[in-house]
Chain A
């Protein structure tokens, strides 16, 4: 092991990366755009009004007309939870098909009411419930039990708070696997790997230079994405930064060794791309980046929990949102460490230098 060649190899990796503008974009800018877009979609705002469509009561039917009057009165109250709009009676089906209203209220002869809605849509069910309450109360129903409401909107429980650690983990996985796979296979394809193997360069040095340059970029990646999360999106970091960085680094090392394994034999970028997607796709779906992994059935939970991305996502969330220390993320670190050791060992054994 020579420090000089390790330094040179790492510098080479660094230079090749920063001289590839596209790689810089996909690693740094793209996740920011994604997080920014989601922040806009899930920004804090007052609960939305449900949009209710109604059709005019038949002329001369006073009982039916009173339903329309009650509905309009309810919708015009201050902070009304619903917004009404009158539609011609022949467009009911159109409105239901296009989902432009959550609920259609059809006043009935004799003062009754008919609700038309898609019971599979949660907001349609909620609209039905709210509208029904308003109409029943307007008609004199009295609630029999006193109710007190406390609404909570705590920082750290929003979707964006849930999502940012997931995004961070996904970015670590993607950049670690891709940067290694692409660089190694390109070098193999160009016979540069063979040329390097013909020098006295230690093979461990070569592989270590990838790990080191990954860690170098990882600092930047975490800094940019986390900074954006904390300062722009107001995502909390409740645990210590040191623990967070440790989890991220061990995660990056684990995915780096997975990247090494993925690229240990392939001769073409096309070949390794397929393999990379094959490895990453299940984790995008099952590891709980976009929604909680606990949604999956209990039968597949052991597999879900054994995925390295699940471990990294859960570890980062635990540190950022729950504020746990190292002892709280030991199981996740153990899973990641196991991937690191096993993949690296196999990769070193089967690595093809030409």
Chain B
């Protein structure tokens, strides 16, 4: 038996498994989302994020495992549980021919208690578009209507599945501001994304998901600190005029890793990527070694370590590669 529900948890997932035929989508996944938190599920496409969130939303059933939403399971009275959740699905297309206000009035009618349609329209800053039909809205505006649909029931717990995928940078930032406002109101949010910057900015806690399992868990700062390095140096080389691919890595990686203050690294398609404690300490020996071996660095860039670097160091893949 699973332990009794912890009242401080808005969402608890234990040992979740789901397969579609031979494809294992979720492979023993655990999550604990504390009330009032914004929790991020971060991972590439196909990592099992959407399957997980849809099981939590009661739209899909797991093969095994326990899901407790607001202390309850989907077995008892799903309708009253749905009344307390706000859901934004990936890729839902709301009815083209309805206006913003008609769409929201429809969704509002499903909830006994909720916020007024006008409030929600103002909240997502669509006052000017209230009488516009959905078909005439931009991608960002449609996404904000979808968010508004998730909010009309005044939910305690919000599920946002890739809310900014496919949006332009300005629309993404606009949505982030909205989500930050919701956090400030004390709502619990479970958010999936494959954007690192989004997770770093919005989430209190992050679970990095890959192949249907949580491979790392913590706050954005903890995850970045787990790299054991503050900065990342990217290098590309050219030996003389030779641009032959086999000459992209003229120095053995082990020699680079042996340098002072280098905590880790890997060969990339264009050169090297090294994780270091401090750029100032690591750079002089790096340049000296290149001089000694007759190697010229044609490109050299540094940045503070991000979640992207965490994902790469754990999986050896870029996030967007899927």
Residue on A nearest B89 in the bound complex, by CB: A195
Residue on B nearest A9 in the bound complex, by CB: B106
Interface centre among A11, A12, A354 (most CB of B within 10 A): A12
Q: Flag the segment in B97-105, B167-175, B253-261, B295-303 that touches A.
A: B97-105
For chain B, residues 73 to 123, give those with C-beta under 8 angstroms from any C-beta of chain A.
Answer: 79-80, 82-83, 85, 87, 89, 91-95, 97-98, 102, 105-107, 109-112
Which among B93, B105, B111 is the interface contact of A199 at CB below 8 angstroms?
A: B111
**Which residues on B sit within 8 Å (CB–CB) of A2?**
109-110, 112
CA distance A292 to B153 in the complex (A): 56
Residue on B nearest A6 in the bound complex, by CB: B109
CA distance A231 to B74 in the complex (A): 59
Cross-chain contact A20 with B111 (CB below 8 angstroms) = no
> Given A200-B83, A202-B79, is A20 in contact with B97 using a C-beta cutoff of 8 Å?
yes
Residue on B nearest A3 in the bound complex, by CB: B109
User: Does B57 sit within 8 A of A, measured CB to CB?
Assistant: yes
Residue on B nearest A4 in the bound complex, by CB: B109
Cross-chain contact A12 with B102 (CB below 8 angstroms) = yes
Q: Flag the segment in A26-34, A186-194, A318-326 that touches B.
A: A186-194
User: Does B58 sit within 8 A of A, measured CB to CB?
Assistant: yes
CA distance A8 to B111 in the complex (A): 12
User: Does A330 sit within 8 A of B, measured CB to CB?
Assistant: no
Least CB distance, A198 to chain B, in whole angstroms: 4
**Which residues on A sit within 8 Å (CB–CB) of B105?**
8
**Which residues on B sit within 8 Å (CB–CB) of A16?**
95, 97-98
Cross-chain contact B89 with A198 (CB below 8 angstroms) = yes
User: Does B70 sit within 8 A of A, measured CB to CB?
Assistant: no
Least CB distance, B77 to chain A, in whole angstroms: 10
User: Does A197 sit within 8 A of B, measured CB to CB?
Assistant: yes
Cross-chain contact B109 with A200 (CB below 8 angstroms) = no
Cross-chain contact A198 with B58 (CB below 8 angstroms) = yes
Which among A15, A19, A198 is the interface contact of B57 at CB below 8 angstroms?
A: A198
Cross-chain contact A15 with B59 (CB below 8 angstroms) = no
User: Does B38 sit within 8 A of A, measured CB to CB?
Assistant: no
User: Does A100 sit within 8 A of B, measured CB to CB?
Assistant: no
**Which residues on B sit within 8 Å (CB–CB) of A341?**
none
> Given A195-B149, A200-B82, is A190 in contact with B93 using a C-beta cutoff of 8 Å?
yes
Which among A4, A8, A195, A200 is the interface contact of B80 at CB below 8 angstroms?
A: A200
**Which residues on B sit within 8 Å (CB–CB) of A354?**
59
Least CB distance, B175 to chain A, in whole angstroms: 18
CA distance A187 to B106 in the complex (A): 15
CA distance A292 to B107 in the complex (A): 49
Cross-chain contact B110 with A201 (CB below 8 angstroms) = yes
Cross-chain contact A5 with B92 (CB below 8 angstroms) = no
**Which residues on A sit within 8 Å (CB–CB) of B95?**
12, 16, 187, 192
**Which residues on A sit within 8 Å (CB–CB) of B149?**
195
For chain A, residues 65 to 84, give those with C-beta under 8 angstroms from any C-beta of chain B.
Answer: none
Cross-chain contact A198 with B82 (CB below 8 angstroms) = yes
Residue on A nearest B97 in the bound complex, by CB: A19
Residue on B nearest A20 in the bound complex, by CB: B97
> Given A15-B102, A191-B93, is A200 in contact with B111 using a C-beta cutoff of 8 Å?
yes
What is the 8 Å Cβ interface bit string for chain B, positions 132-167, against chain A (1 contact, 0 not)? 000000000000000001000100000000000000
> Given A15-B102, A198-B58, is A192 in contact with B92 using a C-beta cutoff of 8 Å?
yes
CA distance A5 to B111 in the complex (A): 9
Interface centre among A5, A11, A199, A201 (most CB of B within 10 A): A199
CA distance A195 to B159 in the complex (A): 12
Least CB distance, B132 to chain A, in whole angstroms: 13
**Which residues on B sit within 8 Å (CB–CB) of A301?**
none
Which among B85, B91, B109 is the interface contact of A8 at CB below 8 angstroms?
A: B109
Residues on A lying within 8 angstroms of B by beta carbon are 2, 4-5, 7-9, 11-12, 15-16, 19-20, 187, 190-192, 194-195, 197-202, 354
Q: Identify 30 residue pairs between A and B in the complex whose beta-carbon atoms are under 8 Å apart, listed by A's number.
A: A2-B109, A4-B109, A9-B109, A11-B102, A12-B95, A12-B98, A12-B106, A15-B97, A20-B97, A190-B92, A191-B93, A192-B92, A192-B93, A194-B59, A194-B89, A195-B87, A198-B58, A198-B59, A199-B107, A199-B110, A199-B111, A200-B79, A200-B80, A200-B82, A200-B83, A200-B110, A200-B111, A200-B112, A200-B153, A202-B79
Residues on B lying within 8 angstroms of A by beta carbon are 57-59, 79-80, 82-83, 85, 87, 89, 91-95, 97-98, 102, 105-107, 109-112, 149, 153
| Sample of 11 further A-B pairs with CB below 8 A, known A5-B110, A200-B111 | A7-B109, A8-B105, A190-B92, A192-B95, A195-B92, A198-B59, A198-B82, A198-B87, A199-B82, A200-B112, A201-B110
